[in-house]
């Protein structure tokens, strides 16, 4: 290792990694779970509308990301490996939205059983 490289202590790296685990869990606890409780107790449909909207936006972005492949008549390629960098990024954002929507809809189903 050269003298110019920054040496990052492993204990600090572990704490930073822990931060990226604790932050999403706390966001879920503060914002998302009360919405599920309101949906169950009061019949509030906000979380259902958000999950459905995320799914629709995700599917639309997925179509837009794969549009160059569709124009080449390559309908059955799997994954983003044939896409350029910009469309790959849109592809992964789309799948993040779709999977989050599926997760929210699954939690809504579990909350009402």
- CA 40, 43, 46, 49 dihedral sign is positive
Please check whether residue 98 is in contact with residue 58, taking contact to mean a CB–CB distance below 8 angstroms.
yes
Contact partners, residue 98, CB within 8 Å, separation at least 6? 54, 55, 58, 59, 62
pLDDT tens across the length of the chain (113 residues): 555 666 767 777 776 766 667 777 777 778 778 888 888 888 888 888 989 999 999 999 999 999 988 888 888 888 888 889 999 999 999 999 999 999 889 888 887 77
CA atoms of 18 and 16, how far apart (whole Å)? 5
- 105 touches 51 (CB < 8 A): yes
pTM: predicted TM-score of the whole model, two decimal places: 0.70
Q: Break the chain into its structural domains and give their ranges.
A: 10-111
What pLDDT score does 39 carry?
A: 80
C-alpha distances in angstroms, 107 versus 7, 25, 33? 42, 15, 10
Three-state SS at 54: helix
Tokens of 95: 């799948």
């Amino acid at each position: 290792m050269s003298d110019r490289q920054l040496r990052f202590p492993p204990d600090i790296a572990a704490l930073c990694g822990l931060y990226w685990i604790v932050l999403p869990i706390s966001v879920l606890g503060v914002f998302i779970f009360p919405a599920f409780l309101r949906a169950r107790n009061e019949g509030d449909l906000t979380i259902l509308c958000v999950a459905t909207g995320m799914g629709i936006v995700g599917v639309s972005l997925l179509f837009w990301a794969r549009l160059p492949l569709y124009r080449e008549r390559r309908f059955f390629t799997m994954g983003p490996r044939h896409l350029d960098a910009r469309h790959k990024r849109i592809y992964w954002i789309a799948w993040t939205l779709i999977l989050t929507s599926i997760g929210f809809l699954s939690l809504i189903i579990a909350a009402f059983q």
